[in-house]
Amino acid sequence: MTAGETIRGLLELTRPVNVIAASALPFIGAFVAGGVGDHSLAVAAAVAATGLAVGAGNAINDYFDREIDRINQPDRAIPRGAVSPRGALAFSLVLFAGAVALALTLPTAALAIAGINLVALVAYTELFKGLPGLGNALVAYLVGSTFLFGAAAVGDMGPAVVLFVLAAIATLTREIVKDVEDIDGDREEGLNTLPIAVGETRALQIAAALIVVGVVASPVPYLLGYFGVAYLLVVIPADAIMCYAAYESFEDPTAGQSHLKYGMFLAALAFVVGRAAVAMPAGL
């Protein structure tokens, strides 16, 4: 492999699109908390730390998953030989170190969240991924907690707590659907994921029930007075997309989990719109 191919492989390990998407979440959390303008350096540190940590987590996940990926994802960097397993591990450790250095500049609450999340990222694949539901729940917590992390970086978690809960529910649903999608490779590797443990149909029924819980809970920020009607105008279509995606997953898990992702981002946008509407000067 040439140096260029190795660099490309290392970049692929981080999942750049996922890194960019994940880095937006602490910014949203900080924005929802109303602290972006007054704490811009802390927000920048939280965003960068999240990006590095997610990239590191993806790289170390590929390191531990290299045998499964030879079946499920043979074109990934390690199975195709662009990056050696040892190189992927070393690269992930460098990224983790950068994330820790940035997190140390943040308030205590944000630092505590970062510490828990870094341990969870490392432990996920080796300890939790093959346990029915537990690995899914850990991923759901990690995604939701990025909103809390951004809010904690500016000192006020407030409505970001609700966003954390809703994001965790939506992510847990998507992770279950993804396990249904990957069931052949997971079974070959000997993992005991939720669809393997309880059956594909039962797992999808659990995923659909979770989405219903999230949809029912989604008006809470409006009912608590955090946001006004603008929030509802965006979150209702997000709810509709996620409900459809849960239904679609019974026939096509790949399309279902993809559409769940779109619904999740639209739901996060609802919080941004809600906060922006509240912050808008009266009369505008």
pLDDT at 184: 81
Q: Burial of 4 by CB count in 10 Å (0-12 exposed, 13-18 middle, 19+ buried)?
A: exposed
Q: Which of 59, 58, 103 is nearest to 84 (CA)?
A: 59
What is the block-wise mean pLDDT of the chain (284 residues), using blocks of 10 residues?
83 92 91 86 95 92 84 86 91 94 94 89 71 84 92 85 89 90 79 87 94 92 89 95 93 89 89 86 47
- 8 A C-beta contact, residue 147 and residue 167: yes
pLDDT at 125: 65
CA pair distance 34, 47, nearest whole angstrom: 16
Q: Other C-beta atoms within 10 Å of 261: how many? A: 16
pLDDT at 284: 42
- pTM beyond 0.85: the answer is no
Report domain extents, the chain.
156-283
pLDDT at 130: 64
pLDDT digits (tens, 9 = 90+) for 83-96: 999 999 999 999 99
Q: Burial of 105 by CB count in 10 Å (0-12 exposed, 13-18 middle, 19+ buried)?
A: middle
**Angle, CA 61 vertex, CA 163 and CA 128 arms, to 5°:** 70
Q: Which CATH class is domain 156-283?
A: mainly alpha
pLDDT digits (tens, 9 = 90+) for 2-22: 877 888 989 999 999 989 988
pLDDT at 1: 63
Q: Which of 278, 93, 75 is nearest to 66 (CA)?
A: 75
In angstroms, how far is CA 152 from the centroid of its own chain? 17
- Which residues 6+ apart lie within 8 Å of 37 measured at CB? none
pLDDT at 202: 94
